[in-house]
Structure 1
Amino acid sequence: MHTTIQTLSKKGYNKTQIAKILEIDRKTVRRILNELNEKGIVERKETCSILDPYKEYIQIQVTKDLKAIRIYQDLVREFEFQGSYDTVKKYVAKIKKSPPKAYMVLHSLPGEEAQVDFGYIGTIKLPDGKYKKAWIFVMELSYSRYMYVQIVFDQSVSTFIDCHKKAFRYFGGVPQNVKIDNLKAAVLEADFYEPVVQRNYAAFASHYGFAPEPCRVATPTDKGKVESNIKYVKDNCFKAREFKDIDEAKAFLMEWLETIANVRIHGTTKKVPSEEFNSYEKEKLLPLPTEEYNISEITSATVMPNCHISYGGNYYSVPYAYIGEEVDIVIIDNLLKAIYKDKEIALHPVEKNEKGKFFTDKNHYPDYKNITANEIKSRYREKMGEIGKHAAIFFDKFLEQIDSKYNYRAIAGIISLRKKYDNTTIDSACHRAYMYNALKYKTVKRICEQGINLLPVETNQTYINSEETFLTRPLSEYSKLLN
């Protein structure tokens, strides 16, 4: 764009014409021409390559004198690279022209650090005769270079943790730190500043007492020791070897570890790993835990308005404060743990035999949802007593007529009349209602509305005057009048 604007300007076009030709704003043309007049050159923006995230990895592979085609194949296999070979070829050629990048030598104290990684080794025959893709898990102690290797068929969380457990047993202890690659099994979000360690792996690390240390993204130099060992194990143990099945491969691997890998003179340290391990590092390792770590199942669910989460076809309560929030569900030892932001908020036994059942802790509901029948009676009696003594009598007579399942809505209605009428009016209305055995909210309300609450209700009172006056007439006269 800068070059085009510069060319048009030299041909005599003004800013308005250039803006119209290129369909851009005139102010943009003016700004670019001013920059060109000041600097005299067209500055080009640096373009990013899809290979930039793998730059350090490619640089290391180039130093190993690997061809571009081999680097491309490794990128596809190890990182599932989606670009073309031509892109890799040009990128490698560019790196070969640039000066090599300097790296610091990282030293570790005995028992301080171990590094782990996976490496693809091809397919291995299973007992059923089928071939399956296989990887090696390698854990190497950074000080002695003593290592443990295991063949696996996946890189799941459970496999990753199982490999750690076997490696720690092989070493007879646990290092203080374990440097891990940005594997999905261990790291959910690959971020140098805030790596989110997978919850199960974090719990496992806490149980064994080591600190997991995720590597930076696409930075193999962070775990250069184990990176080199992956290549060493591939070439020295598995390359150009044929195994009749997985059992033979595993047996050969363990023999190779004991007789070759851990007793050789290491190319970097010039020392024997097993001797360095037994002499200096083994005693510095943390002790193995006395209790076995049980891996858990982890999923998530949203808290429903009824204060429950759904798992396995059943429903388990959590505190009402988390309604609408997504919580983690951790299943371990037949117990369900609901966790929100690393805080355990509920614990229930897991039901596996039936479906559709509710497991409810009443304390997870708000207080107003946990009122007992006796508490309701006590509160209503108190409020009716505040209205007056007749209202309290009405309530007691009301209780005598209803069964235990009644929800007291009639009493609640009478209490609500206080918004419109004073206590005296309601109390006298309750008096009149219970005297006529009309123990209903509508009756009390009607008496208040019609203003008849003050009429006498005693049975010995009457509106007929028994004494004769000058107004007294015999009934026969009324009959004549009607006729």
Structure 2
Amino acid sequence: TVRKYLNKKTVPEPQKRPGRKSKLDPYKPYILEKLNEGPYTASRLYREIKEMGFDGGKTIVKDLVREVRPKQGVSAILRYETKPGVQAQVDWGELGTIEVDGKLKKLFCFNMILGYSRMRYVEFTLSIDTSTLIQCHLNAFEHFEGFTQEILYDNMVRREVMLWIAEQPAILSIQDVPILMCISGNGSVQSSEDNEV
């Protein structure tokens, strides 16, 4: 065959092969329609067309979705910075268990961090009840030699903070400290110490 092509004066055009049919072809209109409707995942679409009779693999569905769906960039988030003395952020973390008097007890970590300087106060406790929460705050205020204009709380302490306010409104009204709750699922408002507790 090499001699045959060497003796010819022109290079022959390559023959086009007929396109192979994909197992996905009958389901493409359905997938495209669903992708236009909203944010469907490839896994969900795979499950749906599998129920419709598709017997192919998940990878081919993922490839089509990746090809069709526009790339979604990460939305920019304006970082929230505070001035000195404006905000403290509080979170509780559960650190596992510790043996006390021969019994296993849960160990918790109270963490208050100043928004501007990132100075922190950390206290380990065996309880997250209201009186412990109050005492941890008072200890933190003493450590910082004062308190901030506002305190931002994560969802984990929401219940305890509400109980605290109900039981001891005088503490915060005397010190005039506003209580701010972190919005659930909003990473831009999430407290700074979330990754550290």
Task: Please state which band the TM-score falls in when normalised by the shorter chain.
Answer: 0.5 to 0.7
For the residue of structure 2 that corresponds to 1:124, the secondary structure is strand
After TM superposition, the score normalised by the length of structure 1 is: 0.25
The amino acid across from 1:180 in the alignment is: Y
Determine which of 132, 141, 150 is the counterpart of 2:114: 141
Change (3 A) 1:207 1:99: same
Task: Select which of 76, 80, 85 maps to 1:102.
Answer: 76
Aligned to 2:180: 213
Corresponding position: 1:178 with 2:145:
no
Residues 140 and 226 of structure 1 are in contact (CA less than 8 Å); yes or no, is this contact kept in structure 2?
A: yes
Q: In the alignment, does 2:138 pair up with 1:165? A: yes
Q: Does 1:114 align with 2:67?
A: no
Q: Kindly state the Cα deviation for residue 211 of structure 1 after the two structures are TM-superposed.
A: 1.1
Counterparts of residues 302-317 of structure 1 (less than 5 Å):
none
Structure 1 residue 178: Cα displacement: 0.5
Instruction: Sort the Cα spacing of 1:201 and 1:221 in 2 relative to 1 into closer, same or farther, 3 A.
Output: farther
Q: CA deviation at 1:47?
A: 8.9
Correspondence list, 1:337-356, <5 A: none
| Equivalent-residue separation in structure 2 for 1:202 and 1:47 (angstroms) | 45
Distance, in Å, in 1 between the alignment partners of 2:192 and 2:108 is 18
Q: Please tell me whether the aligned partners of residues 154 and 191 of structure 2 are also in contact (alpha carbons under 8 angstroms).
A: no
| Cα pair distance change 1:181/1:42, threshold 3 Å | closer
The alignment partner of 1:199 has SS state of helix
Structure 2: runs of 5 or more not aligned: 1-32, 41-70
Q: Which has the larger radius of gyration?
A: 1
Counterpart Cα distance in 2 of 1:159 and 1:47: 44
For 1:153 and 1:166, locate their aligned partners in 2 and report how far apart those are by CA, in whole Å: 16
Question: Counterparts of 2:119 and 2:35 in 1: how far apart (Å)?
Answer: 53
Q: Secondary structure at the match of 1:186?
A: helix
Deviation of the 1:163 alpha carbon: 0.8
Bigger RCO of structures 1 and 2 (CA < 8 A, at least 6 apart): 2
AA of the residue aligned to 2:99: K
1:384-423 equivalence runs, <5 A: none
- Tell me which residue corresponds to 1:251: none
CA distance in 2, matches of 1:160, 1:98: 42
Correspondence 1:50-449 to 2 at 5 A:
98-126=72-100, 128-182=101-155, 183-187=158-162, 198-200=165-167, 202-230=169-197
Task: Report deviation, 1:208.
Answer: 2.4
One-letter code aligned to 1:110: P
Residues 202 and 212, structure 1, Cα contact 8 Å, conserved in 2: no
CA distance 1:201–1:214, change in 2 (3 Å): farther
For the aligned residues, what is the CA RMSD?
Answer: 2.9
Amino acid across the alignment from 1:224: S
Q: Which runs of 5+ in 1 are unaligned?
A: 1-40, 49-96, 189-196, 231-483
> Residue 87 of structure 2 contacts residue 116 of structure 2 at CA under 8 Å; is this kept in 1?
yes
- Structure 2 distance, partners of 1:166, 1:99, is 44
Higher helix share: 1
Q: Is the 8 A contact 1:139 1:148 kept in 2?
A: yes
Q: Is the 8 A contact 1:186 1:201 kept in 2?
A: no
Do 2:149 and 2:178's aligned partners in 1 also have CA atoms closer than 8 Å? yes
Over 3 Å counting, the alpha-carbon distance change for 1:106 and 1:210 in structure 2 is same
- Deviation, 1:187, is 3.7
Q: What is the CA–CA distance in structure 2 between the aligned matches of 1:225 and 1:132, rounded to whole Å?
A: 27
| Shift of residue 44, structure 1, vs aligned partner | 8.6
- What is aligned with 1:85? none
SS at match of 2:167: helix
- 1:370-420 alpha-carbon deviations (Å, 9 max, x no partner): xxxxxxxxxxxxxxxxxxxxxxxxxxxxxxxxxxxxxxxxxxxxxxxxxxx
Instruction: State the shift of 1:141 in Å.
Output: 0.6
Q: CA deviation at 1:118?
A: 0.7
Aligned pair count?
134
C-alpha distance 98-131 of structure 1, shift in aligned 2 (>3 A): farther
Contact in 2 for aligned 1:114/1:141 (Cα 8 Å): yes
